[in-house]
């Protein structure tokens, strides 16, 4: 999943497709994991609420996905 | 939830089962899987479904009333149902809102004689219905069904304990915010201006859900409106600032 797609995805969809992204929200002290509104808000929308550039948050989320895939690959 | 796909070799598929398979395999029709059926094997599920009939209840009508003989057990498939009780003074108390996938009328399967609550459809509703005795014998035959039911009862008990604690200790404002979050979870729909609670729910209903008065709820909702947290119309509410509402509900503010 790349950052450009992630920006407009719903937060709950991002978390479901890539559970590793939970760490990104937690590290940034955003209570998105388990939030009632996660199925209703996009990554860009929550970024703005927390004063983060949407692209920056999307990049971190994409980075977490890539890292997770990488570490899985190294075990093979 | 596993449901056998309609089998091309089987010519006569029970229409109810086919309808049910279509409903449960299409996530758009069923927000949540039916917890009661979790990890039942397909043959058992077939038998359980075959023993049910579909019941439609129009908005404003009831599945059953408090005090009626408890003879049927239900799993809601579509719509919303509110479970209410009347106090001796004639006040209605909303105990719970039932959403798709939830069971209600459980006393029928567990030997209760009368329903302790009224189950009223808040929107047009559709449920699977089993005679209580049939559900009880299905549970004896398929212990998983009984364990799932027990889980459901345990979750309800937990919910009631939380509700009790909130009633005893929390500020009304927080209780109202929590009730709104619960409603969003059950019936939230994204629209341009925010998240619409897609249920014809009045302030009186919210007052009953939070154990307070209409006056207090109106005052709190007006304040939420002034603060730009929500937009309230007649029987219509749009959450404009989800983060502020969540903060109040979680007491982070």
Reported as a single tens digit per residue, the pLDDT across B167-211 is: 777 788 999 999 999 889 888 899 988 999 988 888 888 998 888
Report CB contact under 8 Å: A41, B250: no
pLDDT score at B62: 97
Nearest beta carbon to residue A41 from set B185, B242, B250: B242
Predicted confidence (pLDDT) per residue in B204-250, tens digit: 889 988 888 899 999 999 999 999 999 988 778 999 999 999 989 88
Nearest beta carbon to residue A35 from set B190, B239, B246: B246
pLDDT score at B196: 93
Distance from CA of A7 to the nearest CA of B (A): 17
Report CB contact under 8 Å: B184, A35: no
Nearest to B180 by CA among B243, B237, B119, B99: B237
Distance from CA of B116 to the nearest CA of A (A): 30
Report CB contact under 8 Å: A37, B242: yes
Distance from CA of B213 to the nearest CA of A (A): 26
Token pair of B179 as six digits:
């009730």
Chain A residue nearest residue B178, CA to CA? A36
Report CB contact under 8 Å: B242, A36: yes
Report CB contact under 8 Å: B188, A39: yes
Contact of B197 with B184, CB cutoff 8 Å? yes
Q: Say if residue B7's pLDDT is above 90.
A: no
Q: Say if residue B6's pLDDT is above 50.
A: no
Model confidence at B21, pLDDT cuts 50, 70, 90, reads low
Predicted confidence (pLDDT) per residue in B135-175, tens digit: 999 999 999 999 999 888 888 888 888 878 777 777 889 99
Q: Say if residue A64's pLDDT is above 80.
A: yes
Report chain A residues whose CB lies below 8 A from the CB of B184.
Answer: 36-37, 40
pLDDT score at A72: 58
Contacts of B55 (CB under 8 A, 6+ apart): B63, B74, B126, B127, B128, B129
Contact of B133 with B51, CB cutoff 8 Å? no
- B112 compared with A19, residue with greater pLDDT: A19
Report chain A residues whose CB lies below 8 A from the CB of B243.
Answer: 37, 49
Q: Say if residue A12's pLDDT is above 70.
A: yes
pLDDT score at B107: 83
Contacts of A5 (CB under 8 A, 6+ apart): none
Q: Which residues pair with B189 in a beta bridge?
A: B196
Q: Say if residue B12's pLDDT is above 70.
A: no
Report chain B residues whose CB lies below 8 A from the CB of A37.
Answer: 184, 188, 195, 239, 242-243, 246
Chain A residue nearest residue B252, CA to CA? A31
Q: Say if residue B129's pLDDT is above 80.
A: yes
Average per-residue pLDDT for chain B: 83
pTM to 2 decimal places:
0.59
Q: Say if residue B8's pLDDT is above 50.
A: no
The ipTM value here is: 0.73
Nearest beta carbon to residue B195 from set A31, A40, A49: A40
Buried residues in A14-48 as b, exposed as e (16+ CB within 10 A): bbeebebbeebbeeeebbbbebbbbbbbbbbbbbe
pLDDT score at B11: 38
Q: Which residues pair with A10 in a beta bridge?
A: A42
Nearest to A50 by CA among A23, A32, A33: A32
Token pair of B90 as six digits:
């004639």
The sign of the torsion formed by the CA atoms of B109, B114, B116, B118 equals positive
Query: Average of pLDDT values for B15-44?
Result: 62
Token pair of B72 as six digits:
């049927």
> Pairing between strand B194-197 and B81-86?
unpaired
Share of chain A above pLDDT 70, in %: 92
Contact of B123 with B67, CB cutoff 8 Å? no
Chain A residue nearest residue B244, CA to CA? A49
């Amino acid at each position: 999943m790349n950052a450009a797609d992630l920006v407009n995805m719903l937060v709950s969809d991002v978390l479901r497709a890539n559970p590793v992204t939970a760490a990104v929200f937690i590290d940034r002290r955003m209570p998105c994991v388990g939030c009632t509104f996660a199925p209703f808000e996009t990554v860009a929308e929550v970024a703005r609420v927390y004063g983060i550039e949407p692209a920056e948050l999307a990049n971190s989320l994409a980075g977490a996905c890539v890292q997770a895939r990488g570490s899985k690959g190294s075990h093979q | 939830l596993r449901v056998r796909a309609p089998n091309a070799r089987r010519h006569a598929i029970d229409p109810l089962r086919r309808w049910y398979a279509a409903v449960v395999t299409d996530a758009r029709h069923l927000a949540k899987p039916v917890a009661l059926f979790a990890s039942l094997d397909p043959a058992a599920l077939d038998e359980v479904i075959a023993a049910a009939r579909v019941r439609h209840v129009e908005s404003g009508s009831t599945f059953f009333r408090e005090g009626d003989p408890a003879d049927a057990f239900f799993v809601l498939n579509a719509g919303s149902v509110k479970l209410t009780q009347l106090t001796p003074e004639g006040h209605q108390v909303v105990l719970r809102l039932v959403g798709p996938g939830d069971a209600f009328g459980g006393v029928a399967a567990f030997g209760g004689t009368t329903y302790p609550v009224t189950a009223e459809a808040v929107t047009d509703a559709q449920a699977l219905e089993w005679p209580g005795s049939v559900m009880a014998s299905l549970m004896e035959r398929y212990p998983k069904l009984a364990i799932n039911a027990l889980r459901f009862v345990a979750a309800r008990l937990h919910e009631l304990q939380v509700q009790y604690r909130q009633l005893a200790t929390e500020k009304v404002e927080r209780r109202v915010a929590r009730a709104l979050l619960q409603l969003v979870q059950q019936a939230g729909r994204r629209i341009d201006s925010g998240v619409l609670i897609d249920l014809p729910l009045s302030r009186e209903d919210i007052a009953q859900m939070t154990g307070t008065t209409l006056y207090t709820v109106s005052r709190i909702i007006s304040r939420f409106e002034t603060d730009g947290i929500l937009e309230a119309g007649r029987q219509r509410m749009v959450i404009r600032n989800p983060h502020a509402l969540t903060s109040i509900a979680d007491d982070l503010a």
